[in-house]
Chains A and B, each alone.
Chain A
C-alpha cells in the first residue's frame, strides 16, 4: 500500500517529466508507516531511486463532469486546478504511484505537471 508525499502543480519549462518514486508507505495491522524516503535535503543530494525511470504520462484523457457522473465517487479526493477559467480535477486515486505520480498536461493555455 502506498501513499504519496505531496500535492503540487508545477508550471513546466516546456519539459516532459518522468518519474522516480520518492517514498513509500506500507500498511501493517491497519496502521500505516512510512517505510522509505527519497533521502535528500536542501543541502545534500543523495537520491535513492527505488524504481526504474517510467515513461512520461502526457495529456491523459479528460472528460466532462457530466460524462464522469458514474465514474467517480463524490467522496474521492481530487487535486483541483483552475487556470484562466479552465478547471480540471485530477483524481488522486488515478495520480498516485508507484507507476504514476506525474501527469503532464495542458490547461488554460499553460503547460503544467500535476504531481502527487
Chain B
C-alpha cells in the first residue's frame, strides 16, 4: 500500500514502509478480531458496521474449508509465531508462550473466530479449561468464568476484568512464512 501524503510504499503484513520518505517507519497494529457478524453483534450490541457495496461474497463462516491455508500469527519482541487454523481445530484452547508472553489461543469454529490473549492478569498467570458447551472458559486459579471471544470475565472473583488482547493477525500461512522466515509454527504436542 502507499500513502498519498508522502508517496511511501508500505508492506501490509509488516506494517512497515519499505520505500520512500518514511522508509523504516512502522505502523502500530491495533488488536482486532475476525469473526462472523452474528457473534460480533452479540458481543458488541452497540457496534456500528461499515456498509458499502460488496466486492465479494465468499467470506462466510465456511471459510474454514480453507483452514489449511490460513492461520493466526503474532510478533512479540522480534519473535514470530504462527498458529495454523487446521492445527488449532484439533484443540480449541491452547496455552502457549512467545518469549516472555504467556498466551491463550482460542479458536471458535462455529463463528470462525481465532483470538490470542495475554493470560497474565496482574500478578496472576491463569490456566483455562473449557466448560461443557465451550461457550465459556474457567480459570483454574480463581474459578472465574470468561468469554473467550471478548476476553472478559463474566463471573467469579475476577468478574469485570479483561484479558489483554494481543495484536495477532489472520494471514495466509504461506505469506507469513515468506515475510517471517524465522517464525516458529505451532503444532499440537
Residue ranges of A at the interface with B (Cβ–Cβ < 8 Å):
1-3, 5-20, 22-23, 32, 34, 37, 40-42, 45, 47, 53, 56, 60-65, 68, 71-83, 86-97, 99-103, 105, 110, 112-115
Contacts and interface: CB of A to CB of B under 8 A. Distances in A.
Interface in B136-177: 169-172, 174-175
Interface of B: 1-6, 9-15, 18-19, 22, 25, 27-38, 40-41, 44-63, 66, 69, 112, 169-172, 174-175, 178-181
Given A6-B12, A6-B171, A94 B54 contact: yes
B48 A6 contact: no
A87 B44 contact: yes
Given A6-B169, A20-B1, A77 B46 contact: no
B34 A13 contact: no
B51 A93 contact: no
A100 B55 contact: yes
B49 A34 contact: no
A74 to B, nearest CB: 4
A48 to B, nearest CB: 12
A42 B30 contact: no
Contacts of A110: 30
A37 B49 contact: no
Contacts of B40: 78, 80, 89
Contacts of B57: 93
